[in-house]
Amino acid sequence: MLQDKIRSLGAYALLVGEVFKDITTRGVNRGELCRQVIKIGRDSLPVVLLTATFTGMVLALQTAYGLQRFGAKNYVGNIVGLSLVRELGPVLTALMLCGRVGAGISAEIGSMVVTEQVDAIRALGANPISKLVTPRIAAAMLAVPALVVFCTLIGIFGGQLVAVYELNQSAFTYQRALYYTIMVRDLIDALIKSAVFGFLVVSIACYHGLVTKGGTAGVGRSTTAAVVSGSIAVFISDFFVTKVLILLS
């Protein structure tokens, strides 16, 4: 059991190595890259925006509830803004990405494996890594930071709705708090984190797709595995990436 886990971690590392080799030697196919960026954006933007709105709203509600014990209700904007930019924006987006895009990618590649289309790619003189994996990973690293920007903005807006209509703050108070709290540094950290999450979620999904075995049932198993291990990777890497980014600042 543990041995299997270590072996698949090793196989995953090999895949990542091949992707780097592929990017450095052959580059990325522009057309496919564009198609994948659009696909990732289109698939995940609606769910990301929906979850972000409600997360921003509940966050404002909860912080106001907590802060009023100290008579510090006016700091809602600071806390909501900072949590969304530094933490929740990237993490929420990555989790939604996992469920939508990660699952889709492992199902797509997995069914190509069980129908021998991946073998066919090789038999016909092409490389499945550069055809299937590299463009998807590169696309995720571009698309996810953009999605995170949308996610964070709309989350902050959700928070403002609650601040104004529930907590009877002025929009100005809320926005001023944001303005004085969030620094360029926070935005840069958020974008770096997002790119890392995009890389992890999609490379893990590609890995699970490529190792699919056992027909259509196998495709289902790969999809589940991609979502589960992708989300775990997001949570674990979140801590370490944050730690490193804070050390660097």
Partner 1 sequence: MTAEKPIIEFEGVGIRFGSLQVHHDLNFRIFPGENVTLLGPSGVGKTLILKMIAGLLRPTSGRVLVRGEDLSNLEEEELCAVRAHIGMVFQGAALFDSLTVYENIAYPLRERGLKSEDQIRQIVAERLEVIGLPGIEKKLPSELSGGQKKRVGLARALASSPEIMLFDEPTTGLDPTAIRLIDELIVKLQNQYSITSVAVTHDIQSAGRISQRWLLIHAGTVVADGPAKQIAAQNQDVIDFISGNWRGEITLT
Shortest Å distance, C-beta 143 to partner 1: 20
Shortest Å distance, C-beta 40 to partner 1: 16
Shortest Å distance, C-beta 112 to partner 1: 8
Interacting residues of 148 by C-beta distance below 8 A, sequence separation 6+: 89, 90, 93, 190, 191, 194
Nearer to partner 1, 85 or 132 (CB): 132
DSSP H helical ranges for the chain: 2-26, 30-67, 76-83, 89-97, 103-114, 117-123, 128, 134-165, 171-181, 184-210, 215-248
Interacting residues of 35 by C-beta distance below 8 A, sequence separation 6+: 135
Nearer to partner 1, 122 or 243 (CB): 122
Alpha-carbon dihedral angle through residues 140, 137, 228, 53, given to the nearest 10 degrees: 0
**CA 144/CA 194 separation, integer angstroms:** 6
CA angle in degrees (0–180, nearest 5) for 43-44-46:
100
Nearer to partner 1, 3 or 168 (CB): 3
CA-closest candidate to residue 19, choices 125, 139, 136, 133: 133
Residues 70-129 that bind partner 1 (CB under 8 A): 115-117, 119-120, 122-127
Determine if 31 is a binding residue for partner 1 (CB under 8 A): no
Nearer to partner 1, 71 or 125 (CB): 125
- Relative orientation angle of helices 184-210 and 2-26, to the nearest 10 degrees: 110
Gyration radius of the chain's alpha carbons: 20
Size of the site for partner 1 (CB under 8 A): 11
Shortest Å distance, C-beta 175 to partner 1: 46
Residues 125-154 that bind partner 1 (CB under 8 A): 125-127
Shortest Å distance, C-beta 119 to partner 1: 5
Nearer to partner 1, 122 or 185 (CB): 122
Nearer to partner 1, 2 or 123 (CB): 123
Shortest Å distance, C-beta 69 to partner 1: 57
**CA 94/CA 88 separation, integer angstroms:** 10
Number of neighbouring beta carbons within 10 Å of residue 3: 7
Nearer to partner 1, 123 or 247 (CB): 123
Shortest Å distance, C-beta 118 to partner 1: 9
Q: Which residues lie near partner 1 (CB under 8 A)?
A: 115-117, 119-120, 122-127
